[in-house]
A and B are shown apart, each in its own frame.
Chain A
Amino acid sequence: GAGVSQTPSNKVTEKGKYVELRCDPISGHTALYWYRQSLGQGPEFLIYFQGTGAADDSGLPNDRFFAVRPEGSVSTLKIQRTERGDSAVYLCASSLTGLIQETQYFGPGTRLLVL
């Protein structure tokens, strides 16, 4: 595929459950970003991967949130013990090498609803 893909597109879960959100970046892009967008707000940074390593995870709200990118391509955002406040759209973006001047290309997002 040409663009960033994310699965699932929608996820409904119950409070306290564990969820995994997947991102498949543009082929060849070494930089991968996760953002969270709450209703009526702009996206907020969560974590940035350069290759397989998390170069900056300063945006993760707490230790219930974790992300991996084991082979430097697909990434999974994992949320443990979900809370209603975690309900949001989770966006993934990728860029070629992660330089600040590069354009980040976004996927369609995963809409997470915690009941």
Chain B
Amino acid sequence: AQKVTQAQTEISVVEKEDVTLDCVYETRDTTYYLFWYKQPPSGELVFLIRRNSFDEQNEISGRYSWNFQKSTSSFNFTITASQVVDSAVYFCALSERGSQGNLIFGKGTKLSVKP
């Protein structure tokens, strides 16, 4: 069973649309951390956010926002007013004690923002 599921393989939107990328995770640990990374066409993974299991406050950073809900084991990522530069593959990842902090990644969601 996958520990991190990103059900959306590809999403295509038009510039200025809002878009939400879904992430569902599975863990037995009570202490764990969730991450989002962006992988633009250049290939390098860029860190976006980290969230610990004890903090369910939503976070906003500019056009980006994250919604963490332990009740549904989800950590969704919303981009408001998308731009062409947001086009990339986005990965959700889990770090848990059981895996000694090694990141467990989802398969990623490829976002295409068209002008």
**Are B47's CB and A105's CB within 8 A?**
yes
Q: Which residue of B lies closest to A108 (CB)?
A: B44
Q: Which residue of A lies closest to B93 (CB)?
A: A42
**Are A100's CB and B95's CB within 8 A?**
yes
**Are B102's CB and A45's CB within 8 A?**
yes
Q: Is A62 interfacial (CB 8 A cutoff)?
A: no
The number of inter-chain residue pairs (CB within 8 angstroms) is 69
Cα–Cα distance between A20 and B105 once the two chains are bound (Å): 25
Interface residues on B, range: 20 to 34
Cα–Cα distance between A111 and B93 once the two chains are bound (Å): 22
Q: Is A30 interfacial (CB 8 A cutoff)?
A: no
**Are B108's CB and A42's CB within 8 A?**
yes
| Given A41-B107, A103-B50, A109-B102 contact (CB < 8 Å) | no
On A, residues with C-beta under 8 Å from B are: 31, 33, 35, 40-45, 48, 55-56, 59, 89, 91, 93, 95, 98-109, 111
On B, residues with C-beta under 8 Å from A are: 4, 31-33, 35, 37, 42-47, 50, 52, 91, 93, 95-97, 99-108
A-B contact pairs, 19 of them (CB 8 A): A31-B101, A40-B108, A42-B4, A42-B105, A42-B107, A43-B103, A45-B102, A45-B104, A48-B100, A55-B100, A91-B45, A95-B101, A98-B101, A100-B31, A101-B33, A101-B52, A103-B35, A107-B44, A108-B44
